Every structure is written in structure tokens, then in C-alpha cells.
Amino acid sequence: GEDVEQSLFLSVREGDSSVINCTYTDSSSTYLYWYKQEPGAGLQLLTYIFSNMDMKQDQRLTVLLNKKDKHLSLRIADTQTGDSAIYFCAEIGYSTSNTGKLIFGQGTTLQVKP
Amino acid sequence: ETGVTQTPRHLVMGMTNKKSLKCEQHLGHNAMYWYKQSAKKPLELMFVYNFKEQTENNSVPSRFSPECPNSSHLFLHLHTLQPEDSALYLCASSQDLGTEAFFGQGTRLTVV
């Protein structure tokens, strides 16, 4: 079945770049997403990339997609303390069903030290 | 503010109680979802509704009963829950199945 894997924890210093990695198994994925969850809140859609792209930049965020290796990354430039949150990678694939359901990774907790 | 509103934000209930979680969206979306988020576990998709019809039930115990009276509202009725059901319950909606989902703030449920 579909599976999405992320490392659980990343710690960086304020001002550094953060890179959060994700691997997925469904080669039929159409869209891949990054969501952010701040403490006590729901998930907020940060950005997404279509599977025929290999890079997308949106202000401080850069998404890289290596479709051959099924690897997705989110780079946050000039990381701020307000970026501390849990980041979820998610894919929509259709390999096992037609419901187009969103499959989430376990989430990466990003800790930004002043 | 994502346009998806969940109430209540926090709920404490006993194992013999009956309560309901409510989700509302006025984004004109056709699909709505319930997810369960427990500590140290991946987000679990519980139910999917598309145009008010349930399209997915991921082997959820019958003590959780969803209801979707229209495309804008989704309920999760709870009865005789167990302490291990304590979690953050997230509602989401999307324009259609397979498009990006927008989440509510969640209901933090504690079963005592």
C-alpha cells in the first residue's frame, strides 16, 4: 500500500536553512503537499508540487522533487523561531484505490533555537 | 483561518457519555473528512464523504458514527468511548476527492 516516511525531528539555529525530507512509495502520486501544524492547531497547507515538476519556490520555501527516487524535500531559508512546528509531507495517489485520499507521513518536528 | 470550523475545541467526556463533534465549511467544497491524530502516530483517515455520501470508512469502530447532512456540515457522534480514543480529531474539506485539503483547528478529545 501507499506509505510516506519522514524523519521525526530536526533542530536548527535561527537564521540557518532547514531541510525536511520525505520519501513515498506510490509512483502514481499526482500532487505532493507540505503541511505545517503549530501547537494546539490544525494543519495548514504550506505548499504543494505537481508530480511533473522537480522544483517549486515560494518565498522562503523551496520544494524539491526527485520522482525517480520518490524523494521530496522542503527547504526553509533563514529559519525563524516562528517556523517551529510539525511539518507533514502528504501525497495523493491512486495506485490502490480511486478515492484519491491524502496519505500523510508521521510528521517532522522542527525545533528552531535562538 | 482556513474556512473550516470545528466545535468544540476541547471536550472531556466519560466513557458512558454521548457527545458530538461538529465541522462546518463554507468553501463550497464537495468532499469532507475526519482524521484522528494521536501522539506519536501518523494521521489516521477515519471517514470520507463526497457529495454527502460516505465513500470510505477505514475500519473505524462503531462507537464513532459520522453524519453528513449536507456538503457544508459533518458530524462525528461519539458514544461509549475508551480512554485510548483520546486524541485530536481533525476535520478537513477539499473541492473534490484528490485535491488539496483544508483543515479545521481540531477538537482535543479526552476520554476519562
Q: What is the pLDDT of residues B15-74, one digit of tens each?
A: 999 999 999 999 999 999 999 999 877 788 899 999 999 888 888 999 999 999 999 999
Over residues B75-98, the mean pLDDT reads: 94
For A81, the 3-state DSSP assignment is helix
For B85, the 3-state DSSP assignment is helix
For position A79, what pLDDT does the model report?
98
Distance from the Cα of B62 to chain A's closest Cα (Å) equals 22
For position A99, what pLDDT does the model report?
57
Does the pLDDT value for residue B112 go beyond 90? yes
CB-CB: which of B4, B42, B55 is closest to A99?
B55
| B20 CB burial (10 A radius; 0-12, 13-18, 19+) | middle
Distance from the Cα of B85 to chain A's closest Cα (Å) equals 18
State chain A's mean pLDDT as an integer: 89
Which whole-number Å values give the CA distances from A8 to A60, B41, B49, B106, in the listed order? 22, 11, 31, 22
pLDDT digits (tens, 9 = 90+) for A67-77: 999 999 999 99
For position A96, what pLDDT does the model report?
54
**Number of residues in chain A:** 114
Selection from A21, A26, A22, A23 nearest residue A2 by Cα = A26
Question: Using CA atoms, how far apart are residues B2 and B62, in angstroms rounded to an integer?
Answer: 30
- Please indicate if any CB of chain B lies within 8 Å of the CB of A5: no
Question: Using CA atoms, how far apart are residues B85 and B107, in angstroms rounded to an integer?
Answer: 12
Residues 53-72 of B with CB under 8 A from A: 55-56
Question: Using CA atoms, how far apart are residues B8 and B24, in angstroms rounded to an integer?
Answer: 12
Does the pLDDT value for residue A105 go beyond 50? yes
* B101 with A100: Cβ contact below 8 A: no
- Please indicate if any CB of chain B lies within 8 Å of the CB of A100: yes
Cell of A5: 516516511
* A104 with B43: Cβ contact below 8 A: yes
Distance from the Cα of B93 to chain A's closest Cα (Å) equals 11
State whether the Cα torsion A84-B12-A104-B2 is positive or negative: negative
Selection from A75, A10, A79 nearest residue A47 by Cα = A75
- Please indicate if any CB of chain B lies within 8 Å of the CB of A34: no
Selection from B78, B72, B64 nearest residue B19 by Cα = B78
Share of chain A above pLDDT 70, in %: 91
* B104 with A33: Cβ contact below 8 A: no
